[in-house]
């Protein structure tokens, strides 16, 4: 994952080369008010990298202990954590209508998970996995909000931010793997913490090696587009759209015949898409048709996503 992010340095170098040859983009009005993030100050980007590796590790541990349906269902709370953190730490304003839209998304994800949740026995492993998922989502939400805070204070290109995160994340992960090899795997050659055994296991298996390369390219694009979205809009929008990945996975699984169509699951996805479109302002409702408690602060031109903003149009 972090090697894929580090590969974006090629994009950064290409952008630097293009600017030297007269193709430098005109800076936006918002970027002129920000300070440039120097290489010495880039250590702040280690914070989202730490949140990233912590969240990813916790989620992978949780996936071992919980069924995929429950994993995907509880993962939907990410947007609520991001929204809460944005309000408390970034002082953003989210209207009651937008909160309602977020809860519609979460309920949709809940139905998706519940539809494939038959015959699951509650035990200590399951409860531990659920707690790990929630903790992992807190780490991911913290990552999104920290990235938005950094980009609101400093002028840094999304590609450069992801590239720096890749360097810090790779360094932290490599150091952790070396420490784990020297401690937990000292007397166990085939231990999961043995870095030498792990690398050998990857390179002798073509499927693992090729899928790892695909993941590197995928995660580089995923984080670049995600950071660009955060820069143009905000972290809550990014997490809301990220939740819709569940819909794409479902459609691909249906087309490949990996799972059968379930009406309850379809209802959940319909609610997920509806909540996302309502939150993003793609679907508007006449204020006169809404209850008064929703109409009082219905998002208009001051909504959390301003679609006519200069940076959004530029993006």
71: its two tokens:
């994993």
- The confidence score (pLDDT) of residue 311 equals 26
Task: Give, for 154, the enclosing helix (H) or strand (E).
Answer: strand 154-155
What's the rounded Cα separation, in Å, for the pair 121 and 196?
37
Predicted pLDDT at 51: 92
For residue 267, which of 112, 75, 136, 132 has the smallest C-alpha distance? 112
What per-residue confidence (pLDDT) applies to 32? 46
Instruction: Tell me how far apart the alpha carbons of residues 100 and 285 are, in angstroms, rounded to a whole number.
Output: 13
Percent of the chain that is helix, strand, coil (3-state, to 5): 75, 0, 25
pLDDT at 244: 66
Q: Which two tokens stand for residue 60?
A: 């992978």
Q: What pLDDT is attached to residue 118? A: 59
What per-residue confidence (pLDDT) applies to 138?
Answer: 92
- Domains of the chain, residue spans: 2-14+40-302
Mean pLDDT by 10 residues, the chain (315 residues): 84 78 52 64 86 90 82 77 85 84 83 68 82 91 87 80 88 90 80 83 90 85 73 63 69 80 82 77 77 77 38 25
Number of H helices, E strands in the chain: 16, 2
Do the Cβ atoms of 22 and 16 come closer than 8 Å?
Answer: no
Looking at residue 132, what is its pLDDT? 92
**What is the helix (H) or strand (E) element at residue 209, kind and residue range?**
helix 206-232
pTM of model > 0.75: no
Q: 228 pairs with which residues across the strands?
A: none
What pLDDT score was predicted for residue 88?
86
Long-range contacts of 300-307 (CB under 8 A, 24+ apart): 302/93, 303/95, 303/98, 304/92, 304/93, 304/94, 304/95, 304/98, 304/234, 304/236, 304/237, 305/233, 305/234, 305/237, 305/279, 305/280, 305/281, 307/281
The DSSP code for 278 is H
């Amino acid at each position: 994952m972090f090697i894929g992010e580090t590969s974006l340095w090629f994009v950064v170098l290409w952008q630097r080369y293009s600017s030297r040859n007269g193709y430098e983009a005109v800076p936006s009005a918002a970027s002129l008010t920000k300070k440039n993030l120097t290489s010495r100050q880039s250590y702040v980007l280690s914070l989202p990298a730490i949140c990233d590796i912590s969240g990813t590790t916790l989620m992978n541990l949780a996936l071992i202990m919980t069924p995929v349906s429950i994993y995907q269902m509880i993962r939907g709370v990410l947007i609520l954590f991001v929204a809460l953190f944005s309000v408390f730490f970034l002082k953003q304003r989210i209207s009651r209508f937008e909160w309602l839209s977020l809860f519609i998304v979460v309920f949709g994800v809940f139905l998706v998970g519940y539809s494939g949740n038959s015959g699951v026995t509650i035990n200590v492993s399951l409860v531990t996995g659920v707690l790990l998922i929630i903790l992992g989502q807190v780490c991911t939400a913290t990552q999104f909000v920290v990235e938005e805070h950094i980009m609101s204070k400093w002028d840094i290109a999304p590609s450069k931010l992801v590239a720096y995160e890749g360097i810090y994340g790779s360094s932290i992960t490599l150091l952790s793997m070396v420490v784990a090899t020297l401690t937990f795997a000292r007397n166990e050659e085939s231990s999961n913490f043995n870095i030498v055994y792990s690398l050998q296991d990857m390179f002798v298996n073509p499927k693992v090696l090729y899928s790892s390369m695909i993941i590197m390219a995928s995660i580089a694009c995923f984080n670049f587009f995600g950071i660009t979205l955060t820069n143009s809009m905000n972290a809550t929008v990014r997490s809301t759209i990220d939740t819709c990945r569940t819909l794409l996975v479902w459609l691909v699984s249906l087309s490949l015949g990996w799972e059968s169509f379930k009406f309850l699951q379809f209802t959940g996805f319909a609610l997920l898409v509806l909540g996302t479109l309502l939150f993003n302002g793609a679907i508007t409702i006449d204020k006169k048709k809404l209850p008064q408690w929703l109409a009082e602060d219905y998002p208009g031109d001051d909504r959390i996503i301003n679609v006519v903003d200069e940076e959004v149009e530029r993006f």
